[in-house]
Amino acid sequence: MQFIDVRTDFAFKKVFGSEESKDILLSFLNAVLDLDGHFITDLTIVNPYQVPLVEGLKETYVDIKARLENGTTVIIEMQAYNQGGFGKRVQSNLAKAYSTQLQSGDKYIKHNPTIALTITDFVMLTDEKLKSSVITSFKFMETSQLVLFPYNELEIVFVELPKFHKTESELSSMADKWIYFIKQAGHLTAIPQSLAEDETLNHALEVANLACLTPSELEIHDKKMRWLADQEELQAERKANRERLVQLKAKEQAIEAKEQTIEAKEQAIEAEKQAAREKVAKAESITKLQIAKQMLQAKIDLTLIMQMTGLDEASIKKL
């Protein structure tokens, strides 16, 4: 038995984004979102195409867009690889989903909360405080007193798959089971007992069963898996290049440190030579002064003393 890899956008949308699998999306959202005790009982899957309000602005797609029974909009994306500006894209999609709720003439009070839920197959948040947080939620907050904005209707939620390390036997919550399913479905060869016990998870595994795919869906799935493999190979190559670059920089720093050591030794030797030269010059000067003093005592002519010692007249007269 084989299952599609839910980390691809095609497979993710097939499992979570169809009308037939609405129960799957309901269960998943109830498991990973903190809705202040509110339990989602119904939702509507809507067109994920987001048209901008102003002509000429960027149009965007999200993987899944749903509207909960209380009016809250949830946009959901499965992202396999970190791309440049991805964090800004998440914020842009959230803002667009919130702002496009109103039509011309609508009052702002009609705005409903909007949540951007993003599942990443890479570590998105590297802050030390969040290094073990699989699910993280961000809202507007006053920075000095950590008080939530009273009209807070925007939320960004991340589920980071690489931070999830639980084995099947360690799954204790529905959130654990859904994250395990998304991360491991493509590697499973049988339905795990802990997932089969839940009706909705069992349904998700049925939808994800490769045997249930049509020929055209199998072709799309194969293309997505080849793309995923290419991306993994590219990422591995980039990682290897980064490691080689680090090693090269380390070697350059070692050579530079060695050169600095040699330069320091050369400077020390030169300093010793200079000190020796100064010592010799001082000794020679003392000797010359002593000779000049003795010659003066012997009443030898000043000019002859200057010639013999190399001292100037002023230095000799000081004696």
With CA atoms as reference, report the closest residue to 171 among 201, 146, 144, 216. 201
| 16 falls within a domain | yes
Write down the H helix ranges in the chain. Answer: 9-16, 22-32, 86-99, 174-184, 193-196, 199-208, 215-297, 302-309, 313-317
pLDDT tens track, the chain, 319 positions: 889 999 888 889 989 988 888 999 999 999 999 888 788 999 988 865 443 443 443 444 468 889 999 899 999 999 988 888 889 999 999 999 898 887 777 888 888 999 999 999 999 999 999 999 999 999 999 999 999 998 889 999 999 999 999 999 999 999 999 999 999 999 998 888 889 889 999 999 999 998 778 888 888 888 888 887 887 788 888 888 989 999 999 999 999 999 999 999 999 999 999 999 989 888 888 888 888 888 888 888 888 878 888 888 888 777 6
pTM over 0.85: no
| 293 falls within a domain | no
| 274 falls within a domain | no
| 98 falls within a domain | yes
What is the reported pLDDT for 47?
Answer: 62
| 124 falls within a domain | yes
- The encoded tokens of residue 315 equal 């230095």
| 157 falls within a domain | yes
The DSSP-derived string for 256-292 is HHHHHHHHHHHHHHHHHHHHHHHHHHHHHHHHHHHHH
| 133 falls within a domain | yes
Host domain of residue 21: 9-212
Total count of domains within the chain: 1
| 295 falls within a domain | no
